[in-house]
Amino acid sequence: MAELVGGALLSSFLSVLFDRLASRPVLDFISGKKNELLMRELKLKLLTADKLVDDAEEKQMTSPTVRKWLDDLKEAIYCVGELLDEIKSEALRRQLEGEDGHSPAASSSTSGISRSESNPSSPSDEFHNSLEPKISNILGVLNLILNERDVHGLKEGVQHRPQERTRQTTSRVDESAVFGREKDKKRILEALRLNDPTGPKIGVLPIVGMGGIGKSTLAQLVYKDVKGYFDVQAWVFVGGEIDILQIAQMIHGKITKNPCTITDLDLLSEELEEVLTGKKFLFVLDDVWSEDYLLWNNLMTHFNSCGVHGSKIIVTTRQRSIASITGTLSTHDLQGISEDDSWLLFAKHAFTEDSVITAHPYLEVIGRKIVNKCQGLPLAIKSLRGLLHSVLNRREWEKIWKSDLWELPNYEVLPALRLSYQYLPPHLKRCFAYCAIFPKGYNFKRSTLISWWMAENLLQPHRKEAMEDVGSDYFDILVSGSFFQHSLDELGRLCFTMHDLMNDLAKFVAGEFCLRLEENQPPNKNLCKTRHFAFMEFGGHDIQKFEALDEAKHLHTFLQLEKGYKDCNKLVLNYTLVDLLPNLPCLRVLKLSCHDY
């Protein structure tokens, strides 16, 4: 990922639209026609919107009205894309049927006008006439949306730096509040204490895992346990781009126990070399985001001139790609804690004393169901325990259990995982948001998802890159950032899945534009904006659920995602083919088979 800080999700949608509006087929098709000026005006409106989306995407997290504004804008952008699909299809039809109005014999816009005047009811004019009200309608909607900018306080060109504003870690840790990390701690301690004379002078050990998994906590545990083994220790919270001067100042200040005021990096490097000469050190660089290899190499140049063989650096990061850049020792891939340890962590803080469970046994039953939703993510567990601390009302516990976790107030894991999403560049945000179609726990195949991305025009190749290669690169980045996780299907074959909370994040980001039907849940929202639809297996009596799809006239995706290997429901298949598909002109992805293999 070349960009450290990602732009707004809609920036990518708009970028694709601008390219399509400027494409030769579209320009040729509208050149000299009555809708040419309207299309120019449409582009200007979209350019204005593009300047607002960065500010709006940040503000939507705390403002439901801004989130609604973004959804309205996204709907308009989808409509423009579908309009361009119509133009492209009509241009291709004419070319195939020999009706291309831009052949050498009919290249003059003047001759085109004269033909139009002599034959006002020609198919060409009928199509252009049908475009005019559609373009005008979109322009009207865009005008309304852009006129609301001041109401929401949206500013042009405002770019927010993704960050957790209250986050700042230290080396301090409460060990009594940590569960299930004994094996991880032991493995890292062994690596830190190993002094291989044939190994690198400074061993760099990356700890990698998704946001909220406990990377910093694990580093704090080992940092505390090795005191006395290393001559010098320093903890630095990086939290973004690597600033070599700032890191060096913080390390110097920790070692000398005085704030460092040296601003000359060369002088500061000499000072560090002097205080670290003959000493074995341990530095922790917590929460690293930069994938700049040259920057990291420059930082290591300063460290390599200091200390003695056997010195170590721990790097915590969410990105496996950063681990491959920084690590000289084996990467520690941190996983979630066990179900039992998750319960111990939850119970320690949710109940004021052990007697509470004895007096209210139903709380443990519901509590374990709540904990299971967190899938071993310590931050999620700790956030929930804060919501239920000292609460004994059964109804409140059941409310938490049945709620979408992203809807809960003051739920700390939301900003933690959202930060990973915010650091994605816009084109990857689109690909990730598309994955909201997957039910929780669903296993998907790499090649299948890439083919769907291709069909949805979500990939942006450079020059002559093959689409499959671009999709593979996108996929690898999302795996590296823990958006996707390795899994195995029923036959033991490699596939991928999403952590439930990542799935919730995708659903939160996709909003009204993605609908998945699961179990016996009927559609419970307005489907006019829905573009992507997926469903699990239904019985024949559930066919009425699909009648609601009559509202979803603009579906791009229709997926049957059944678990296992069962025969397709013939009623569903017949309804889809006969009653539904003829009314879905925008469809790009159709899957009716019961499995992907």
Q: What is the pLDDT of residues 110-145, one digit of tens each?
A: 334 344 444 455 666 788 888 889 999 999 999 999
Q: Stretch 417-423: mean pLDDT, rounded? A: 82
Lowest mean pLDDT among 159-163, 173-177, 241-245, 426-430: 159-163
SS3 content of the chain, % helix, strand, coil (to 5): 55, 10, 35
* Segment (H or E) for 236: strand 232-240
Q: pTM for this structure?
A: 0.80
* Residue 437 near residue 22, CB atoms below 8 Å: no
Say yes or no to pLDDT of 406 above 50: yes
Strand partners, 558: 533, 590
CB-side neighbour CA atoms (13 Å) of 370: 32
Give the pLDDT score at 597.
39
* d(C-alpha 113, C-alpha 259), whole Å: 77
* Residue 312 near residue 282, CB atoms below 8 Å: yes
CB-side neighbour CA atoms (13 Å) of 337: 27
More confident residue, 239 or 565: 239
Q: ∠ at Cα 391 (386, 395), nearest 5°? A: 115
* Strand ranges (E), 32-122: none
Q: What is the DSSP letter of 444?
A: B
Give the pLDDT score at 433.
93
pLDDT category at 454 given cuts 50, 70, 90 is very high
Give the pLDDT score at 107.
41
Q: How confident is the prediction for the chain on average, in pLDDT? A: 83
* d(C-alpha 247, C-alpha 539), whole Å: 61
Q: Stretch 303-314: mean pLDDT, rounded? A: 90
* Segment (H or E) for 268: helix 265-276
More confident residue, 308 or 517: 308
pLDDT category at 25 given cuts 50, 70, 90 is confident
What is the SS3 assignment for 501? Answer: helix
Q: Stretch 472-478: mean pLDDT, rounded? A: 95
Domains and CATH numbers, the chain: 9-147 (no CATH), 175-333 (3.40.50.300), 339-415 (no CATH), 424-591 (1.10.10.10)
More confident residue, 408 or 2: 408
Give the pLDDT score at 337.
95
DSSP assignment of 462-495, as one string?
Answer: -TT--HHHHHHHHHHHHHHTTSSEEEE-TTS-EE
pLDDT category at 366 given cuts 50, 70, 90 is confident
CB-side neighbour CA atoms (13 Å) of 374: 34
* d(C-alpha 284, C-alpha 273), whole Å: 18
pLDDT category at 369 given cuts 50, 70, 90 is confident
Question: How remote is the C-alpha of 72 from its chain's centroid?
Answer: 21
Q: Stretch 315-333: mean pLDDT, rounded? A: 94
Per-residue pLDDT of 138-167, as tens digits, reads: 999 999 999 999 999 999 877 665 554 446
Strand partners, 316: 207
* Residue 545 near residue 567, CB atoms below 8 Å: no
Nearest to 331 by CA among 350, 317, 342: 317
What is the SS3 assignment for 548? Answer: helix
Q: Stretch 222-249: mean pLDDT, rounded? A: 91
Say yes or no to pLDDT of 51 above 60: yes
